[in-house]
Amino acid sequence: MARLKVAVLISGRGSNLQALIDECARPGSAAEIVLVLSNAPDAAGLDRAAAAGIPTATVDHRDFDGRAPFEAAVNGALDVAGAGLVCLAGFMRLLTAAFVERWRDRLVNIHPSLLPAYKGLNTHARALADGVRLTGCTVHFVRSDMDAGPIVVQGCVPVLPGDDEAALAARVLKMEHRAYPLALRLIAEGRVRVANERVEIDGAGSPAGAMLNPTDDSCAGA
């Protein structure tokens, strides 16, 4: 069976990219990263990709007059690479509805909250201000509405007494590095489908996305 060809879009250091690289290097992985693309020429994640022998590309948004021509250039690079799935990993550009629709159910993102809670920015500060006991991260298929779309995997972490934004962000990021590779694995193995805007996972105990908790590597459907 051919491996799923994956492109990863980044803007910065690429820590989630590294987690995806490690997943694709796992023996028997059903996915391979064929392109890492950044809108920022100085993104550290490009060096991570190059060190792993993965082709890279830069499409600097500042070189284009508007989002449409920028996205046309991105799409061109994705098409040349033969990407079948696009993973957003700290890609700090808003995507148009046309781009999202072109890649419908083939475009995934990771967000540092348990969606639908805390969409947008400043997720950790808002969680702390609300006094929640649990937060986490969500891998989801992208839709044109911000931080919306069918949920593939969620990872849950506690909010501890004395946490500040930095401590909580570090704990959530550690969970992101587990959740994103799991989501990629499930998708690449053909175990994920979207029905009525909900994810169903073959082999799961219920028709829902998978859940990771802080101490157990098991999850529904994994």
Active site residues: 111
* Torsion region of 2: left, alpha or beta (phi above 0 gives left; psi -120 to 50 gives alpha): beta
**Taking each helix axis from N to C terminus, what angle separates 165-188 and 15-24, rounded to the nearest 10 degrees?**
30
CA distance 25 to 45: 17
Q: Which two tokens stand for residue 123?
A: 């997720």
* SS3 category, 164: coil
Helices and strands, number each (H, E), in the chain: 6, 10
DSSP 2: P
What is the residue whose two structure tokens read 């649990």?
Answer: 134
Reading the block at residue 156, the tokens are: 């849950």
Q: Is the peptide bond before 116 cis (omega within 30 degrees of 0)?
A: yes
SS3 state at 162: coil
How far is Cα 58 from Cα 74, in angstroms, rounded to an integer?
9
CB atoms under 10 Å from CB of 119, counted, come to 15
